[in-house]
Structure formats: structure tokens, C-alpha cells
Amino acid sequence: MEGVAFPPGGQPALVVHLLYRLDFGGLETLLVDCINRMPGYRHAVVCLAGYTAFAEKITRPGVALYSLDKAPGLGLGAHARLFKLLRRLRPTILHTYNLSGIEYNFTGWLAGVPVRVHAEHGRDAGDPQGLNRKHNLLRRLLSPFVDRYVPVSGELHTWLRETVGIADAKNAWISNGVDTEHFHPGQPDPDTFVIGTVGRAQDVKNQALLIDAFIDLRARLPQRKMRLAIVGDGPLRAALQQKAQAAGLGDAVWLPGARTDIADLMRTFSVFALSSLAEGTPVTLLEAMACGLPVVSTAVGGIPDLVQENVTGLLVANGDSAALAGALAVYANDPALARHHGAAGRARIEHHYSVGAMVQAYTNLYDTLRKQKLNLKETITPCAE
């Protein structure tokens, strides 16, 4: 475990963010945006399983990074190390993320952290509907030690209330947000239909289905010049590459791994596609819509709340590669419709999913809980940019 502790006196309140791993991903992008844009609080990041060069995206000075080096399994040693770290740092707020982080709210309570927040950003391929009884029992049992659960989509908000059993008073929906200045429309090559997706190469993203749909689409439109870009690294990247090669796709499918120039890449896409088995509100989808791209996606999780059918994109049934190919064909055959839906998506992001609104919502939540838990009498002035 490494890092530099903050001195406790005379400084803004410290928020400790705890997640599984700080690596390229949507949740991680949101976390970095909040840290960089929320000057009213100090921040530190604790990772259960380390961090990568993605941490360099944290541009705010003085943000300490720690790894608990959790071993597979129960990992009681990680709890002990976190307890000692929290006692040393003395944060005002512990903010944990997803199922892997929720149990550490109990550790935060033991360590005397006054405010504890837990965010649910989505579910994994092993439990796409969130019906695992043991996991949901854990979420309920830990409810006394969590001051607020934060789902990032309407679907997750309803699931926490109706399936998990979290009371409305502890269930605060905050939508994800995107930087609309950094992610803006471009001018893709009109002669090549480029289908793009961005996300970790793992089971829940189901990019293999997108390759199947691309094979189908090429058979339907043999004269149309088209490419498929699958951007992101992960455990299944090599298998996806092999699948594309075995299908004889050659240079038509591009798997560059993790990239730092996502906005530039998106501006070369004609359409953005998601084939996920489960999602919350995908950050990459927000970024794509901000870039003026029409969306073709499986109708899972919070995506139907975001993508308006036949207005900003087209939705298909989960696991249906033929339907996915058919929806892609609509945009391949009608570039004007693609541009129209893309423009509508950009407008929707500008009005409802800005990064400024997201950061302000988290700032307000932190402020409110601090006042409640610490009995603060003074007015807390929001400081989000």
C-alpha cells in the first residue's frame, strides 16, 4: 500500500473513493471527472486491486492513490489495511462503487468515517438482472452502514427499491454526465460506414455478438464499404481478434486495445453500437451521443431511459445478432437519418447529461449528508465547476 496522507486540520473535507481497480472504463472516467472538477473537497482513491496509467488522467494536484492489494476471495487483510488507512487519513466521506466495494462501508463505519455513500453503476454478466439472492442480501444487510445508495439510472433506482429492498430515503438517483466540450461532433468519412464501440473486452459487453452482427451486415450489404472498431482492452480481446480472423474479416475489424484518444476516434465513427448483456448508464454511450452519433444498442439496463427509440437511436433485443444487424443496416442505407438521430442525441446530452450537472449533484449530496451527520450549522457553498 502506498500514498501520502493529507494533514487533517484546516482543509476542505476529504472524500475517499474506493473501487476495485482504477483502469480504463466508464465508472473510472466519471470518478476522475468528479475529482478534477470538485474543488470544494479533497480526494483520495483507494483501489482493491491496484491502478494503471489511467490514474494519470487525475490532473488535480494532491490526490493520493492507494492499493490494498486484495487477494482473491474473502480478503480480510484488505479490510484491516483499509481500517488502518482510514484511521490515518480521517476522511469525512467514504464513497464506494459497485458490488466489490459495498462491504467496505462496514469497515468505514468501524473506522469512524462519518458519511458513507455507495454507488451502483451496473451489473456484471454473471447476474445481469441483479437477482442474485446472496448479493442482494449483502446489500440489504449493509444498509444500516450506508447513508445513501446512488444508482446511475432509473432502472437501477427501481431495482434497488423493488428487488434489493433499499428504502427511498436512502436511494438517490444521479445520472452520469459527459464533457460536451471535449466530446463533440466530427465529420466521418462518408464513403465508409464505420461501426464503433468502446468498452472493456469482457463477458458483460458481449462484443462477440457485435462481430456476428457485422458478419450478417456484410452479407446483407456486400457493396457497402464498412469497418468495425472495437476499442478497449480486457480478458477477451484476444478471443475477439481470433473470432474476427476466423471469419475472414481481415482489416475490416480493428481492435486497438485501450486508447486515450476516445473522443477523436468517435468522431471517425458513423454509428455507435453496444451489444451489452447488462448496463447502468454507459459513459461511452453518453460520449458517443455527445459526438453526434446515432446509437444501435441492446435494450438493457438504463439504456432505454437514455436512447429514445427512432429519435436518437434504435434498440434491439438482448442477444439477437440478426436484429442488431438489421438496425445497423437502417443507418448504413440512410445516412441522412443517421445524421438526424445523431443530432437529436447530441441535443439530449446537452440538456440532460452534462458533466457539470453530475458533479453538482454529487457535491450537493456530499454537502447534505455532511450537514445531517455532523450537525453542521453553517451554510455549505457548492463549489462544483
What CATH number is attached to the domain comprising 32? Answer: 3.40.50.2000
Structural domain includes residue 381: no
Domain presence at residue 7: no
Residues 155 and 302 in one domain: no
Burial class, 179, CB count within 10 angstroms (exposed 0-12 / middle 13-18 / buried 19+): middle
Query: Which residue, 231, 205, 214, is CA-closest to 287?
Result: 231
Q: Which domain holds residue 268?
A: 193-352
Residue 216: inside a domain: yes
Residues 254 and 117 grouped into a single domain: no
- Shared domain check, 346 and 241: yes
**9 pLDDT tier (thresholds 50, 70, 90):** low
Considering the domain boundaries, does residue 38 fall inside one? yes
Q: How many domains does the chain have?
A: 2
Average pLDDT over residues 89-105: 98
pLDDT of residue 5: 35
* Residue 379 located in a structural domain: no
Residue type for 300, please?
V
Same domain, 29 and 170: yes
If asked whether residues 172 and 248 sit together in one domain, one would say no
Tens of pLDDT, residues 31-68: 999 999 998 999 999 999 999 999 999 999 999 999 99
- Please count the CA atoms within 13 angstroms of the CA of 223 that sit on its side-chain side: 1
pLDDT single digits (tens) 274-319: 999 999 999 999 999 999 999 999 999 999 999 999 999 999 999 9
Same domain as 118, residue 243: no
Cα separation, 355 vs 33, whole angstroms: 8
Specify the pLDDT at position 378. Answer: 52
Within a domain: residue 9?
no
CB 205 within 8 A of CB 237: no
Residue 333: inside a domain: yes
User: Is 5 contained in some domain?
Assistant: no
Are 109 and 48 contained in the same domain? yes
pLDDT tens digits along 125-182: 789 899 999 999 999 999 999 999 999 999 999 999 999 999 999 999 999 999 999 9
306 and 239, same domain (yes or no) = yes
* 45 neighbors 20 (Cβ within 8 angstroms): no
| Under 8 Å between Cβ of 275 and 207 | yes
d(C-alpha 77, C-alpha 25), whole Å: 27
Q: For residues 218 and 284, state if they share a domain.
A: yes
Same domain, 346 and 359: no
Q: Distance between alpha carbon 219 and the CA centroid of its chain, in Å?
A: 33
